[in-house]
Structure formats: C-alpha cells, structure tokens
Amino acid sequence: MNHESKGAALYWKQLFGPQFTREHNAEDDINKALNYGYAILRAVTARALVSSGLLPALGIFHQNKYNPYVLADDIMEPYRPVVDFKVKKWWDGNGQVDGLEIPMKNLMLQVPTNDVFMEKKSNL
C-alpha cells in the first residue's frame, strides 16, 4: 500500500521544507550530502558485518540480487536519522549545505564515531 514512501515524503518535507524532494540521483546539495552520509554509514556497517563473519549480501528486509549489501542496508536503517539530523542542523545553521565541500564531508565522516542514544541509553 506504499505506506513507507508516503511517510517518507511527509518526513522529508517536514525536515527540509515543502519544496524538497528526496531523490537518490538528485544533484541538489541536500541530496548530495544525504547520499554521502548514507554511503559512509553503509560502508562502515558492511565492514563491521564482514569482520564479524556475516555475509552482507543476505538481507533481512532488503532483498535485491543486484545489491551485495542488503544486510548492511537493514542494519544501518535505524542510524539514517543521524545523517538526516546532521545535514538538517548544518542547513539550519548556514542556510545552505554547500554540496560536498570539505566541511560537509568532515561532518559526515564524524557520523560513525558519534554516540547514539535510544531510550536514554548509549550504543556503547
């Protein structure tokens, strides 16, 4: 029934404004920053899975024979809002994202080292 995509459309418009559309191949600065952050998160997750002896090609919810990292996509899903939050915070503070300039890349490279709290408990 397409509930996830309908919810995502509302989420993105609430986060970045009514004109924003989340597209994986879009050339606007916000989408570029989000894609870069997700790529870093995915790579770190895939590396951790492989080093733990798991096969990132065997997913739980994500299924795609052309995607060798579906398990990484499953595992990283709860951490995507960390990337969203960092891009949004940058946007609010600067009024622009500046694409993939060095300050934005540095910000996204910090994502894997940030503590994440869920129900007031750290991931450490």
CA distance 25 to 117: 31
Q: What is the pLDDT of residue 10?
A: 93
pLDDT tens digits for range 48-58: 999 999 877 76
Residue 121 domain-assigned (yes or no): no
Q: Is 83 helix (H, G, I), strand (E, B) or coil?
A: helix
Over residues 41-64, the mean pLDDT reads: 84
- pTM (two decimals): 0.83
Residue 60 lies in a domain: yes
Number of domains within the chain: 1
Q: Is 5 contained in some domain?
A: no
Largest distance between two CA atoms of the chain: 43
Instruction: Give a yes or no: residue 52 inside a domain.
Output: yes
* Range with lowest mean pLDDT among 12-21, 52-61, 70-79, 107-116: 52-61
Domain region containing 77? 26-113
